[in-house]
């Protein structure tokens, strides 16, 4: 599981989707595919998409069970929260 890689992809998607005026449905699908590739337990209802274009921002919240193989049980659940908003990169 690579949460940092997902966070970087989320910011990339926000910037591309914001500049290309992508639909919320398309954005959600892109994020779910990436989460699946990274084996992240993300569902569509855990993705909140607000605004569009230059006002686009996305919040992703999900939890991951942390297991300890020796104990063969879940020790705790980690809450993971990401927030990304459209940014214009000036050069």
State the CB neighbour count (10 A cutoff) for residue 19. Answer: 13
- Quote the pLDDT of residue 16: 93
Q: What is the pLDDT of residues 18-66, one digit of tens each?
A: 999 999 999 999 999 999 999 999 999 999 999 998 899 999 999 887 7
Q: d(Cα 40, Cα 46) in Å, to the nearest integer?
A: 12
Q: d(Cα 51, Cα 18) in Å, to the nearest integer?
A: 9
Q: Where along the chain do its domains lie?
A: 3-85
- Quote the pLDDT of residue 29: 97
- Quote the pLDDT of residue 31: 97
The pTM of the full predicted model, rounded to 2 decimals, is: 0.81
């Amino acid at each position: 599981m690579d949460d940092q890689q997902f966070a970087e992809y989320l910011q990339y998607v926000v910037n591309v989707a914001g500049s290309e005026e992508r639909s919320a449905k398309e954005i959600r699908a892109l994020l779910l595919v990436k989460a699946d590739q990274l084996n992240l337990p993300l569902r569509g209802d855990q993705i909140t998409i607000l605004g569009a274009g230059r006002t686009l921002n996305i919040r992703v919240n999900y939890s991951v069970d942390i297991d300890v193989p020796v104990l063969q049980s879940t020790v705790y659940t980690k809450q993971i929260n990401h927030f990304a908003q459209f940014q214009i990169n000036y050069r």
